[in-house]
């Protein structure tokens, strides 16, 4: 079946992620998510997808991508195709955010976002890292390694809480230097990974 989706037709987004094309529209073949994040953000923990491939296509801005042992920076109209089992994550550099599309084949992972959003509403607030990992595991997402690592805005994989701190410092410095305010919500509240590490 053919589908037309306008921005106002999309389901409610979560922390900068919006579903453009759901797996139900493609009979499971693929899904498409649009993401917009500001400068100097560390993305999700380094992770893998065992049953699906993932492709990032940068619409505007710049995106730093870690792929196994390689770190690359993508500009507008650049893409990275990630095969199943590849360890990967992303960040945005200090001076520029990114708007990018993520294609999953087959689809299904996109359902993590509305599932986590509903769980947060049911919980009355943010979930723990462990809770989010359990939800993500239902959608072909696994953390890479025993302790979560995230990519810093300058392209280094470090313990997750450290990435938050470094990203916050770089972001504040850049926004102050350029007379701008931060209008993009963080993926998790301050100290999320640090608290998770203390609980583990």
Stretch 10-36: mean pLDDT, rounded? 87
Does any domain span residue 9? no
Residue 3 within a domain: no
Question: For a pLDDT cut of 90, what percent of the chain falls above it?
Answer: 57
- Residue 7 covered by a domain: no
Reported confidence tier of residue 70, pLDDT bands at 50, 70, 90: very high
* 1 within a domain of the structure (yes/no): no
Cis before 185 (ω within 30): no
Domain range spanning residue 122? 14-199
189 confidence band (pLDDT: 50, 70, 90):
low
Of 34-48, 93-107, 157-171, 172-186, where does mean pLDDT reach its minimum? 172-186
> Residue 193 — pLDDT band, cuts 50, 70, 90?
low
Kindly report the number of other CB atoms within 10 A of residue 191's CB atom. Answer: 12
Closest CA to 78 of 94, 97, 55, 103: 55
Number of separate domains in the chain: 1
User: The domain spanning residue 103 has which CATH number?
Assistant: 2.60.120.10
Convert the pLDDT of each residue in 104-148 to its tens digit. Answer: 999 999 999 889 889 989 999 888 888 999 999 999 999 998 889
Residue 186 falls inside a structural domain: yes
Q: Let me know if residue 8 belongs to a domain.
A: no
Summary mean pLDDT of the chain: 87
Q: For position 99, what pLDDT does the model report?
A: 96
Q: What is the pLDDT of residue 184?
A: 47
**Residue 6 in domain:** no
Q: Which of 20-24, 59-63, 109-113, 156-160 has the highest mean pLDDT?
A: 59-63
In a domain, residue 4? The reply is no
Residue predicted with more confidence, 175 or 62: 62
Average pLDDT over residues 59-79: 97
User: Residue 81: is its pLDDT beyond 90?
Assistant: yes
């Amino acid at each position: 079946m053919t589908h037309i989706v306008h921005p106002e037709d999309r389901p409610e987004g979560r922390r900068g992620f919006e579903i453009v094309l759901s797996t139900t529209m493609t009979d499971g073949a693929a899904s498409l998510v649009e993401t917009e994040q500001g400068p100097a953000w560390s993305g999700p923990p380094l992770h893998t997808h065992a049953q699906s491939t993932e492709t990032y296509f940068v619409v505007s801005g710049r995106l730093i991508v870690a792929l196994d042992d390689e770190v690359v920076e993508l500009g507008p109209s650049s893409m990275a195709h990630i095969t199943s089992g590849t360890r990967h994550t992303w960040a945005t550099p200090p001076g520029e955010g990114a708007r990018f599309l993520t294609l999953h084949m087959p689809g299904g992972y996109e359902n993590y976002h509305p599932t986590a959003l509903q769980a947060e509403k049911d919980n009355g607030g943010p979930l723990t890292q462990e809770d989010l990992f359990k939800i993500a595991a239902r959608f072909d997402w696994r953390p890479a390694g025993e302790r979560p690592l995230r990519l810093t805005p300058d392209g280094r994989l470090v313990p997750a809480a450290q990435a938050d701190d470094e990203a916050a410092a770089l972001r504040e410095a850049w926004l102050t230097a350029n007379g701008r305010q931060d209008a993009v919500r963080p993926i998790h509240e301050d100290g999320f990974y640090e608290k998770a590490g203390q609980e583990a």
